[in-house]
Amino acid sequence: MNVLIVDDNHAAADLLQELLVLQDHTACCTYTGQQALDVAARQRFDAALVDLTLPDFPGTEVARQLRAGARGEPPLLVAISGYAADEAGDAAGLFDHHLQKPIDFDVLDRILARPLAG
Amino acid sequence: MKASPGARSWMAAGVRHELLTRALPALRHEMAAPVSVIRMGVLLLKRQLANAAEARPDAAAMAERVALIEDQVAALAGGVRSLRDWELATHDDGITRSALVAQCATLMRVAFELNGIGLKLGEELAPVDGEPRFPAAAALRYMVLGALGHLHDSVPNLGEIRVEAVGGDGLRFVASHGAAEPVEPIAGAHRAPRALAIDAIALQALADGLGCAVTVEGESVRFGLGTAMALP
């Protein structure tokens, strides 16, 4: 899968990218919401892993714009946050999945494998 | 039946518990971030070592990874130690007004902003050299969270809370209204209807328990930093 990572914690984003590459995915790191939207405007992604707390605007806004701006099938949207799902809220159904930090990689592997299997 | 002094202390303790509960997601978030990096770093090392038979591991890259993990362990240890900030009985070195406001604003900013509520700090609250430190830092943290929580819970259609300095040793929290149509809450749980709202009575009970003189005037809250006691 081609995965977009959006996390203002550079170390976390960079490690996540390396792990995904080791799993035979391709991954692109961005560190702000605007960077993510700029990259997504130029390139199609199968999935986006979005931190909910970004310096410029909320991860939910990134998700909303990724979904709205998708040409064709929108990317699989995965919220990643130190906050639990009921604290961070995805009431609007913006995200397909919510992973709480520290990320369980077995769960992430299963999430990213599912669309390919389907 | 009037509340006994013991009952009032329990009431103040209950308010502190509610405020700490509201701050907990941010406190957890601060500690989850380094744990997340540690876990990913260790997993990456394991996978690289597992592949070592096929590709010679890059020793410099691995050393860099270990250094990163060490940094994150230090950050996590700092986070664990900082939990003592919330213990009233702990002796502390006091806190400056700017650090107090910055710490509490950081804790609550995400919860507020996810619900379209701005949290603005006056320019006069920027740190400066030689700022005085006020004793009973834990009590002051609860008072700041109490003021923010009170305005959050009691002001209809809240758009912004502005925090201002009052003289050399006071703080004022001023609420202002948002757009006519409230922003649809993104994070419902952060501003869910609360069974335990920080109403004016709860805020007063908190302040009494901490020995702090608080004034609620309309949609603003004011208190001095020099009056809080170190022990409840």
Q: Return d(Cα B98, Cα B95) in angstroms, integer.
A: 8
**B133 CA: distance to closest CA in chain A (Å):** 30
pLDDT at B194 over 50: yes
pLDDT value, residue B192: 43
Q: Domain limits at A58? A: 2-117
**A19 CA: distance to closest CA in chain B (Å):** 6
Strand arrangement of the beta sheet that strand B118-121 belongs to = B118-121, B158-166, B170-177, B220-224, B214-217
User: Among all residues of chain B, which has the CA nearest to that of A8?
Assistant: B33
Flag whether residue B32 sits within 8 Å of chain A, measured between CB atoms: yes
Q: Return d(Cα A19, Cα B21) in angstroms, integer.
A: 34
Ranges assigned E (strand) in A11-96:
26-30, 47-51, 76-81
Higher-confidence position of B229 and B140: B140
Sorted by sequence, the CB contacts under 8 Å of residue B159 that are 6+ apart come out as B116, B117, B118, B176, B177, B178, B179
Residues of B in contact with A86 (CB under 8 A): 189
Per the rule left: phi > 0, alpha: psi between -120 and 50, beta: everything else, A100 is beta
Higher-confidence position of B48 and A1: A1
- Helix then strand then coil, in percent of chain A rounded to 5, is 45, 20, 35
User: Among all residues of chain B, which has the CA nearest to that of A89?
Assistant: B187
pLDDT at B25 over 90: no
Average pLDDT over residues B197-220: 93
- Name the CATH superfamily for B95-224: Histidine kinase-like ATPase, C-terminal domain (3.30.565.10)
B15: confidence class by pLDDT, cuts 50, 70, 90 = very high
Whether the bond into A102 is cis, omega within 30 of 0: yes
- Helix then strand then coil, in percent of chain B rounded to 5, is 55, 15, 30
User: Among all residues of chain B, which has the CA nearest to that of A11?
Assistant: B37
pLDDT value, residue B48: 81
pLDDT value, residue B188: 43
Flag whether residue B75 sits within 8 Å of chain A, measured between CB atoms: no
- Name the residue type at position B42: V
User: Among all residues of chain A, which has the CA nearest to that of B21?
Assistant: A87
Q: Return d(Cα A18, Cα A15) in angstroms, integer.
A: 5
pLDDT at B124 over 50: yes
pLDDT value, residue A117: 45
Q: What percent of chain A has pLDDT over 90?
A: 50
Average pLDDT over residues B119-129: 94
Strand arrangement of the beta sheet that strand A2-6 belongs to = A26-30, A2-6, A47-51, A76-81, A97-100
Please compute, for residue B85, the number of CA atoms within 13 A of its CA located in the half-sphere on the CB side.
21
Flag whether residue A1 sits within 8 Å of chain B, measured between CB atoms: no
**B69 CA: distance to closest CA in chain A (Å):** 10
Look over chain B and give the mean of its residue pLDDT values, rounded to a whole number: 86
Average pLDDT over residues A4-17: 94
pLDDT at A118 over 50: no
B52: confidence class by pLDDT, cuts 50, 70, 90 = confident
Q: Which residues pair with B96 in a beta bridge?
A: B133
A105: confidence class by pLDDT, cuts 50, 70, 90 = confident
Given a contact cutoff of 8 angstroms between Cβ atoms, the answer to whether B108 and B163 are in contact is no
pLDDT value, residue B189: 41
pLDDT in tens, A45-94: 999 999 988 888 888 889 999 988 877 788 999 999 887 776 665 445 78
Given a contact cutoff of 8 angstroms between Cβ atoms, the answer to whether B65 and B44 are in contact is yes
Sorted by sequence, the CB contacts under 8 Å of residue B219 that are 6+ apart come out as B151, B154, B155, B174, B175, B176
Q: Phi, psi at residue A86, to the nearest 5°?
A: -75, -15
Flag whether residue B185 sits within 8 Å of chain A, measured between CB atoms: yes
Flag whether residue A9 sits within 8 Å of chain B, measured between CB atoms: yes
Number of independent structural domains in chain A: 1
In this complex, which of B39, B113, B185 lies closest to A102 when CB atoms are compared?
B39
Look over chain A and give the mean of its residue pLDDT values, rounded to a whole number: 86
Flag whether residue B30 sits within 8 Å of chain A, measured between CB atoms: yes
How does DSSP classify residue B184?
A: P
Q: Return d(Cα A46, Cα A48) in angstroms, integer.
A: 7
- The answer to whether the CB atoms of B29 and A60 lie below 8 A apart is no
Nearest CA-CA partner of A11 in A106, A101, A109 = A101
pLDDT value, residue B220: 95
In this complex, which of A58, A86, A103 lies closest to B186 when CB atoms are compared?
A58
B17: confidence class by pLDDT, cuts 50, 70, 90 = very high
Q: Return d(Cα B109, Cα A21) in angstroms, integer.
A: 34
Given a contact cutoff of 8 angstroms between Cβ atoms, the answer to whether A111 and A76 are in contact is yes
pLDDT value, residue B29: 86
How does DSSP classify residue B3?
A: P
pLDDT value, residue B4: 72
Flag whether residue A24 sits within 8 Å of chain B, measured between CB atoms: no
CATH code, domain with A80: 3.40.50.2300
